[in-house]
Amino acid sequence: MTTVLAPQRATFSRLHAPTLCTLPTAVAENVHRVRAATTARIMAVVKADGYGHGAVAVATAAVAAGAGWLGVTDVGEARALRESGLSVPILSWLNPSGVDAEEAATQRVDIAVGSAEELRQLIADAGRPVRVHLHLDTGMARGGSPLDEWPELLRLARSGRGRVEVVGVMGHLPRADEGDPAANAAAVLRMRQGRDAVLRAGFGPVLVHLAATSGALTDPATHFGMVRIGAGLVGIDPSERTVLAGASRWTAPVVHSVLASPGTAVGYGGAHVTDRETHLSVVGWGTPTASLGSWRRMRASRSGDAAPDRGEGVDGPDRRRHRRGAVPRGTVATVFGPDGGAVPAVQDWARWAGSIPHTVVTGIGTRVQRSVA
């Protein structure tokens, strides 16, 4: 594996800024991949600022590629999408600051409701009808109404007619990342039970949605009327069963290089000790060291191998092969993303860090500039 280091002429005072470039064509490719796996509608979930890639850029690309819905965390995120000109239906769930019922109605945002308390408050606040998706706990105990409390939620929904309109039923798959339909069977059964109770209560038709990226790609039984694609939009399949297109490229400049003798301690606490004469380069990727956690070091060359190790920085060309010296200051390194060569992917960084790709892409700080290809 190589990290692309493209020579660039630079002055001491001005270098290539660390930049995360979002690739809309990759987002579209991932939507098309999901479309090939399902006949259900597709919701593009762009919470966490489009998984760090820019909510508007990702949403616009996804809708253009065929996503018919958008998903967000709260009504404020939905407002930004509406202001960008996106008119497709939007669902907001989690709503950590509560729900502004009037704004939800104004912005035409559906609200997910997972408890009698939430629904009671929404009914009390609504001046105009608010469209709701009843959220069933299908086996995660991390949101949604347990099935034995479902009758109370339906009773409240009936009493609130005129203020709330039940248009959907949703849940989450607790074990979809295993990529095994048998692991999802209990959740699918519970979803069917919840849906049937809603229909018996006189609501309908309702849009039923249970699967996120992994379920959409691996288990048709979970698809119902719609699938929700979040991390998959930017190239992450949590089940690791499908290779999706990386939707961003992170580049940064080499800001310092040194020729280290064998036995040189590298990084905080001497986490790595060189075993040979080594060119070391520091890449100014713009993310605070503290937030990198165990993203430690990759050994790389302009035309050789790259591998994770301990320490901080990039191990440049071996002096035995490149006697002219280390990587020049201002050389642009591709931290991850497609760049015409064997470059580390987001999944590689997550594995080296003992983390998950979602954390990598959403943890890139504000000092990294954003652009759209």
Give me the active site residues, please.
Answer: 47, 268
| Three-state secondary-structure class, residue 10 | coil
**What beta strand segments (E) does the chain contain?**
5-6, 19-22, 41-45, 69-72, 90-92, 109-113, 130-135, 164-170, 207-209, 226-229, 248-260, 265-266, 272-273, 278-283, 297-299, 307-309, 313-315, 332-336, 369-372
What does each C-alpha distance from 360 to 4, 17, 243, 315, 352 come to in angstroms? 20, 19, 18, 22, 11
Helix/strand/coil (H, E, C) string of 190-230?
A: HHHHHHHHHHHCCCCCCEEECCCHHHHHHCHHHCCCEEEEC
Residue 256, Cβ neighbours under 10 Å: how many?
A: 13
How many angstroms separate the CA atoms of 33 and 233, rounded? 10
Residue 165 bridge partners (DSSP): 131
Are 120 and 158 in contact by the 8 Å Cβ rule? The answer is no
Are 254 and 296 in contact by the 8 Å Cβ rule? The answer is no
Task: Give CA 228 to chain center in angstroms.
Answer: 12
Residue 152, Cβ neighbours under 10 Å: how many?
A: 14
Closest CA to 133 of 152, 119, 148: 119
How many angstroms separate the CA atoms of 94 and 10, rounded? 46
Residue 269 has what DSSP assignment?
Answer: G
- Whether a cis peptide bond, with omega within 30° of 0, leads into 205 is yes
Number of separate helices (H) and strands (E) present in the chain: 12, 19
